[in-house]
Amino acid sequence: MIEQLKALQTNPRPEEAIKQPDFENIYRIEENYRLFYQILDEALRIIVVKIDFKWVTDTV
């Protein structure tokens, strides 16, 4: 495997060239997941607070 990588570095051919990952796209996806989970976390906190408040008002 290492020999193949060295051969590609010295004599790259388009059909065998190793594609570099698209880091910009990866970072964008990572940011979207982070925002999604942040929104989900806030929504669940609001739901839990409302349920707790309703439970407290029902028992009093």
Label residue 6 exposed, middle or buried (CB < 10 Å: 0-12, 13-18, 19+).
Answer: exposed
- Closest residue by Cα to residue 4 from 35, 13, 26: 13
* The pLDDT of residue 32 is above 60: yes
pLDDT over 90 for what percent of the chain?
A: 23
Asked if the structure places residue 52 within a domain, the reply is yes
22 residue type, one letter: D
Could you tell me if residue 10 is inside a domain?
no
Averaged pLDDT, 33-44: 93
- Do the Cβ atoms of 8 and 16 come closer than 8 Å? yes
- Domain count within the chain: 1
Residues in the chain: 60
- Residue 49 domain-assigned (yes or no): yes
User: Would you say residue 46 lies in a domain?
Assistant: yes
Q: Is residue 45 part of a domain?
A: yes
Total Cβ atoms within 10 A of residue 20: 6
Give the residue numbers spanning the domain of 55. Answer: 21-60
